[in-house]
Each structure stands twice: as C-alpha cells, then as structure tokens.
Amino acid sequence: QVNLVESGGGSVKTGDSLRLSCVGSGRMFTNYGMAWFRQMSGKAREFIGAVGWSADKLDLAESVKGRFAVSRDDVKNAIYLQMNNLKPEDTAVYYCAVDPCHGTTWYGCLTRGKKGDWSSWGQGIQVTVYS
C-alpha cells in the first residue's frame, strides 16, 4: 500500500518562499508519475505540476510558471514543490499524488492526472500566504 506524507507547509507573507516535500513509502516510485495539486477553499482541486520518470517529462501549470518548480528524488522516494514569490491567492491545501502510469504514455497518464484520476494521494498540507 502506498503512503504519501507532505511536509513543509505553513504561514508565510507575500513574496516569501516555501518548499513542500512529499515522501512516499510502500513502493519505489522510480517509474511512477509524481505530481502536486492544490485546493483553495470552496474551489475544485487544481493541477500544479508533475514530473515523470525521466527528465524530459515535466509539466507545470501556466498559473505558476516562473514561480513554482517541481522536482523529484528517486533515492529518497520523494517529490518537491519549490514555491517562490508566494501570493495570497496561493493559499490552499496542497496535495501530492503518484501513479504507476501503467499501459499508457506519459501524456496519457498526465492527462488523467490533471483530471485528478491518479491512484495515490497524500493527506494534504496547508499553505497560507498573508499580505
């Protein structure tokens, strides 16, 4: 059974940076897709970014390009979200997710992931940005 635990959230002021971590157990995620999502209060969950099993498989939402970056460490079985120049509208619960992407291309798996249809999710961590 896959278990994902996020850390690194908190309350920061506008313009600050945070780095979220998500460490997994139960499987090695070497060949998995790994992603970050967020859910703002009263809104649907939103895709932020994802990284596949090779360096060319990287996708980032337009809304965070230039400020956020997603990376992974397969030795630590982890995915990271570096968030810079944070704004109050980044306030949300942030979730990591993984999926083995079996039987599909990275694009197909990513498309499914953007719809929220990946197999394993963390419990979420709060990020609050105040002005």
Q: Return the pLDDT at 42.
A: 94
Section 10-23 average pLDDT = 98
Confidence band for 72, pLDDT divided at 50, 70 and 90: very high
Give the mean pLDDT of the chain.
95
Section 93-112 average pLDDT = 94
Please give the biggest Cα pair distance in the chain.
45
**pLDDT at 12 exceeding the cut of 80:** yes
**pLDDT at 54 exceeding the cut of 90:** no
